[in-house]
Amino acid sequence: MLTGDILYRKATLKRVEQCKEARDSFVKYCQLKDSVFYTEDKPHLTKLCQVLNDFYRGLLIRKDGKAYRKLMINIPPQMGKTRTLVHFCEWVFGDDDNKKIICGSYNDDTATDFSKYTRNGIAEEKNLEEQIVFSDIFPGVTIAFGTATYKKWALTGKHFSYMASGIHGSFTGKGGDILLIDDPIKNEEIATNDLALQKIWNWYAGTFLSRVAAKAGLPLEIIMMTRWASGDPCGRILDSDEKDEWYILTMEAYDKKTDSMLCDSLLGHERYEELSRKMLPEVFNANYHQKPIDLEGTLYKTLKTYAGVPKDDSGAPLWEAILNYTDTADEGDDYLCSVTFAVYENEGFVLDLIYSSDGMEITEPLLANHLIDNEVNKSYIESNNGGRGYARNVKRIMRGIIDEHNKNREKDEPERGLGVVVKWFYQSARKVYQFLGADDNLGLRLRYHAHGTSAEDIEAFVDFFDHVFGRNTNKTDQPPRRFYYDYSFEKWLAMSYEYNTNALDYPARGIDDLLLLDDGGMVSGVEQWEQKKTAVQKRIQWGLGEPTQSQSAPRRPRMADSMGRMAIGGQPDGGNYPGGNLYFPTDEAGNRTSGDLPVIIYLHEYAYAHGYGRFMRELGVENSKSIIQGLVELGYAVYAFDQIG
């Protein structure tokens, strides 16, 4: 019969052996320290852990006989890849506390979370005696006192061990032996944005790869992410000369050949089929089958086509308007894009387009003829980067074309007018958000009193943009988020009844509108300026703003012969106080009735329209008296004040 002491010693010896195995094997480490998650029903995690173990030990060998020093892992979301990478960092530090790890992720928040989980995993304390924590497996490896911040910290006796940063962040003065990237792309909006992908690549190829420890020689590089696009970091690497230097581990959520799921316990087949029905096919295939979207930079994933156009009985098109939208070329290799479309019953029919990287000396006359030939009614030209001057030149060229036509027309041919209204507008904010890879956001800044912009206001604005663009790395100094809203016009449109909202119905207005006559010509001469006088006056008034609205106190109850009123303030020092009135019964001479009176404090609902002078008939009582008058006539004194909420 085994005694309790013998059983305890057997259990202790087993723990010692388990901890030794965990030190030698990353697979055993995860199964021992996180046994709830790393179970037999998740074989893909065993494979992932073994690959990371062999990569770290130098057991993955390239064709040239050298060990792989670069590892690319592409696994579907919610499959435990980030959790495994966190444990890998713990295990590496336990194996060699001289190692230095640098980790980059989508933004500072996710990178800091990754760092926090690693640090907390090392510093974890027991909740139960039988629980096995990091210090049981690697005794003596601890977090250095005074450096236990979430973003950057060191192990005891070391100057620096771990640093985390979001994409576009910096690692000034720090070098690492192991460089990790965990899911650098957030969503399909970034995956289909050339500028955002290029910015991520520039950060990876520049800032991130330059962070190599002086004594490290060639570092170990690990990229673990869900594939999104051929232009993501993995896609660019695979399309480069160094692709053979990378060991690639790819896992799909479902294997069609074997009709089996990667991990039924994390993503069952029923849920997989549901996702395949609800998600965009290209996004689903990228996330769960590691097939790039390959719609780089496109705004519209699908386009409707039409075989015929709506016509009347005579065969003429039933167009309600023919419109044009032109995005002028920015500097560099950008393209001018001009789309002309007809409108019928709130649907657009693309008629013609221009897409050109030629200079404005070519595209200005090209667009002018395009607008005339397509009989465009209105053209909207984006006014960023010289677009306003571009629009003026197009109008000038069009006017020249029309004048030349009228000069040389046949005698029986009617004279042609310009017929096209060219307008320009700004589209700056959205481009900034797209360029920086951020979602649309709104921020509310509550300002009190009519004073100028203060330093506090400016600081609040900067905090908001730090929040939107993921630039605030100090979680203890985050601005209050209760006034920040992730805003999407598309989501609002889907939830509202404004399905027929047309942005073109609300064109931007500029001061140069005043230079245009009704026929589209430009103002010249005193007489024409006299015609625009009223419009100019209105525009000046608009620029100055609306006149200040006067304010008055809310309605008070109508006084009766039998009631008196006393104004009552609050704090005599002039501080904030609710000013109000005390109403009370009076005799025929207007004096307050003698004796003590019961007092009612009237906490009315806040409504400026009637204040606290509401009539009883408004509450369904056929009486023209105010509520306060009715109470006073019953012998009560009533105190009421202007509530503010």
Instruction: Identify the residue with better confidence: 367 or 413.
Output: 367
Gyration radius (Cα) of the chain, Å: 36
The most confident of the ranges 227-231, 433-437, 574-578, 604-608 is 227-231
Dihedral sign, CA of 429, 430, 432, 438? positive
Which of 211, 132, 129, 147 has its CA nearest to residue 173?
Answer: 211
Give the pLDDT of residue 207.
74
Instruction: Identify the residue with better confidence: 439 or 184.
Output: 184
Tell me which of 210-224, 232-246, 265-279, 347-361 is least confident. Answer: 210-224
Percent of the chain at pLDDT above 90? Answer: 21
Give the pLDDT of residue 44.
93
Where, residue-wise, is CATH 3.30.420 in the chain?
A: 321-422
Total Cβ atoms within 10 A of residue 246:
19
Average pLDDT, the chain: 78
The most confident of the ranges 279-288, 470-479, 517-526, 548-557 is 279-288
Give the pLDDT of residue 296.
41
The label of the residue with tokens 């997989």 reads 272
Give the pLDDT of residue 297.
43
Terminal Cα-to-Cα distance of the chain (whole angstroms) = 77
Q: Where are the alpha helices (DSSP H) in 170-321?
A: 188-191, 194-203, 233-238, 269-278, 281-289
The most confident of the ranges 110-114, 216-220, 261-265 is 261-265
List, for residues 95-129, the tens digit of each pLDDT value.
999 999 988 888 878 888 888 899 899 988 888 77
Tell me which of 94-108, 145-159, 316-330, 561-575 is least confident. Answer: 561-575
For residues 29-38, b (16+ Cβ closer than 10 Å) or e, as one string?
bbbbbbeeeb
Tell me 592's DSSP state.
B
> Taking phi first (over 0 means left), then psi (-120 to 50 degrees means alpha), and beta for anything else, what does residue 151 get?
alpha
Give the pLDDT of residue 113.
86
Query: 321-422 adopts what CATH topology?
Result: Nucleotidyltransferase; domain 5 (3.30.420)
Query: 61-289 adopts what CATH topology?
Result: Rossmann fold (3.40.50)
Tell me which of 125-129, 401-405, 433-437, 531-535 is least confident. Answer: 433-437
Checking if the pLDDT of 642 tops 60, the result is yes
* pLDDT average, residue stretch 259-273: 91
**Phi, psi angles (nearest 5°) of residue 273:** -65, -40
Instruction: Identify the residue with better confidence: 511 or 639.
Output: 639
3-state helix, strand, coil in the chain (%, to 5): 35, 20, 45
Checking if the pLDDT of 159 tops 90, the result is no
Distant-in-sequence, close-in-space partners of 194: CB < 8 Å, separation ≥ 6 = 231, 296, 297
List, for residues 518-559, the tens digit of each pLDDT value.
666 777 778 887 877 887 787 777 667 665 544 455 667 777
Residue 46 and residue 15: Cα distance in Å, rounded?
21
Give the pLDDT of residue 256.
86
Which of 470, 460, 458 has its CA nearest to residue 433?
Answer: 470
Instruction: Identify the residue with better confidence: 505 or 378.
Output: 378
Instruction: Identify the residue with better confidence: 88 or 438.
Output: 88
Which of 406, 367, 413, 72 has its CA nearest to residue 237?
Answer: 72
List, for residues 290-346, the tens digit of each pLDDT value.
888 764 444 555 567 788 888 988 888 899 989 999 888 765 567 889 999 999 988
Residue pair 223/68 in contact (Cβ under 8 Å)? The answer is no
Which of 303, 262, 522 has its CA nearest to residue 418?
Answer: 522
Checking if the pLDDT of 51 tops 90, the result is yes
List, for residues 62-74, the tens digit of each pLDDT value.
988 999 999 999 9
Residue pair 334/386 in contact (Cβ under 8 Å)? The answer is no
Consecutive H or E run containing 399: helix 387-407
Checking if the pLDDT of 34 tops 50, the result is yes
* pLDDT average, residue stretch 366-385: 84
Query: Could you tell me the pLDDT band of residue 88, with boundaries at 50, 70 and 90?
Result: very high
The most confident of the ranges 184-198, 392-406, 614-628 is 392-406
Measured at the alpha carbon of residue 62, what is the angle toward residues 61 and 63, in degrees to the nearest 5?
A: 125
> Taking phi first (over 0 means left), then psi (-120 to 50 degrees means alpha), and beta for anything else, what does residue 451 get?
beta
Query: Could you tell me the pLDDT band of residue 48, with boundaries at 50, 70 and 90?
Result: very high
Give the pLDDT of residue 223.
92
Residue 298 and residue 296: Cα distance in Å, rounded?
6
Give the pLDDT of residue 21.
92
Quick one: 158 exposed, middle or buried, by C-beta within 10 A (0-12, 13-18, 19+)?
middle
Give the pLDDT of residue 573.
42
Tell me which of 271-280, 486-495, 627-636 is least confident. Answer: 486-495
* pLDDT average, residue stretch 389-401: 86
Give the pLDDT of residue 572.
43
- SS3 assignment, position 351: strand
Tell me which of 61-75, 297-311, 442-456, 461-475 is least confident. Answer: 442-456
Give the pLDDT of residue 183.
85
Where, residue-wise, is CATH 3.40.50.300 in the chain?
A: 61-289
Checking if the pLDDT of 576 tops 50, the result is no
Distant-in-sequence, close-in-space partners of 126: CB < 8 Å, separation ≥ 6 = 133
Give the pLDDT of residue 214.
44
